[in-house]
Chain A
Amino acid sequence: MTDPVVRLHEVHKSFGALKVLDGVSFDVHRGEVAALIGRSGSGKSTALRCIDRLERIDSGMITVCGHDVADPALKLRALRLDVGIVFQSYNLFPHLTVMQNIMLAPRSVKGLGRAEAVDLARGVLAKVGLADKADAYPEQLSGGQQQRAAIARSLAMQPKVMLFDEVTSALDPELTGEVLRVIEDLAAGGMTMIMVTHEMGFARHIASQVLFMHRGRVWEAGPPAIMSDPATPELRQFVGSELRR
């Protein structure tokens, strides 16, 4: 088996006295979709942010596409070229149109010419079904459209792995559906993805690996089937409460 795209080994992280990650370990291989589930405060988002070095870890090891993320001398730019991340709050740049949002990094970071960048942007916009919104400003779009534009912006950098941090939590069910369909297409296209999500049905349907986090640890991990047949009372309770939501 090849080396995993993302590997966390015994990762510890505290915010002051609060232990957020207490020995987290998991591997995600090429083409896999890992779903991080668990209660708020269980450490899922922090784990995701550590992978992109938005947070530094206290101890342990994280490797992402061959980068040693815990190394203080890590070339952050190189890491960010390989990793795409999409946030709950979209974080599109409000002063730029959708097209300009997408073209910014390919042009500034990769030095693409204008024509090339336009082609690239049109391609990713078509992928997320927003070809007709290229010249709109973010505030003229619905939440679902903004989130799809944010996904397109990440895709334009052609990352090797995509991270999704509760990308549908700010959306109503209808808009959630349109964003999840885009993610589903990406999974079908073989993109390696790690997603923090509260969409249990979606996780079960799309994930190749489910990681249930509890108290800063991966409490239970396995194929989506573990959600129907939990081994631990914590996961059983969590799945039960999520179904009742």
Chain B
Amino acid sequence: MMGGHLNAFHLAYLANGAMWTVVLSAMAFLGGGVAAFLVALCRISPLRIVRVASGAVVQLVQGTPLLVILFLAYFGLPAIGFSVPPLLAAGASLTIYVGAFLGEVWRGAILAVPAPQWEAAECLALSRTQRLFQVILPQAVRIATPPTVGFLVQIIKSTSLASAIGFVELARAGQIINNSLLEPFLIYVIIACVYFALCYPISRWSRRLERSTGFARSARVAVP
């Protein structure tokens, strides 16, 4: 496909790349969500050692560029005997990255639930697990939802770094097409527009969530 003009084949190739961007984002969000939940629980553990250890891991990941994590997973692991396909390397790296950042967001949301709520639940003889899952987390979810949805946008954009380990998602697909067409402005504008189309609705959704956080208010909306 050397030279020539942008054609349907190129667009289909970009669409395929966009599809992998979505797949990678979904992997990062689901895997990262599970990791973040564990991180948040560890960070509020009654055991000091668990809090300190998880805090250290979070600091380590937050202080490392995602690109370096990707390189470590894709180039580093094979060097010590573990061969990892690009999709898995990218998915795992994003999971770690998202887990560290989202975990701290969620920890903050849990801590933002007023302490007397823990106390009131304790005085009703609920166990710590019951307090957490039945009283605190439902409230923390409300607090965490807008920033979490906002972070989704960061995740989608971060998946473009997977192109650096040869994974053909949207950004990499654009690079490959540009290598044959040599029309970087046109192609990267198209790429930017596709990213924007993926991210903008989510940003809007996040902003709408920020405006409606009252419990009773949403309940009234639910009942017509």
Contacts and interface: CB of A to CB of B under 8 A. Distances in A.
A59 interface: no
B197 interface: no
Given A105-B126, A108-B130, A109-B130, A93 B120 contact: yes
A9 interface: no
Contact of B124 (A95, A109, A139): A109
Interface string A120-141: 0000000000000000111110
Question: What is the interface of chain B mostly: helix, strand, loop, or mixed?
Answer: helix
A20 interface: no
Contacts of B119: 54, 87, 91
Counting chain B CB atoms within 10 Å of each CB, the highest count among A85, A89, A105, A136 belongs to: A105
A44 interface: no
Nearest to A153: B124
Interface residues of A, number: 28
B117 interface: yes
A80 B139 contact: no
B134 A104 contact: yes
Contacts, number: 64
A95 B139 contact: yes
B216 interface: yes
B50 to A, nearest CB: 21
B125 A80 contact: yes
B215 interface: yes
Contacts of B46: none
Interface of A: 52, 54, 76-77, 80-81, 83-85, 87, 89, 91-95, 104-105, 108-109, 136-140, 153-154, 157
Given A80-B125, A84-B123, A109-B125, 5 more contacts: A77-B127, A109-B126, A137-B216, A139-B216, A154-B124
10 contacts: A84-B123, A87-B119, A91-B117, A93-B121, A94-B139, A94-B215, A95-B138, A109-B127, A137-B215, A157-B124
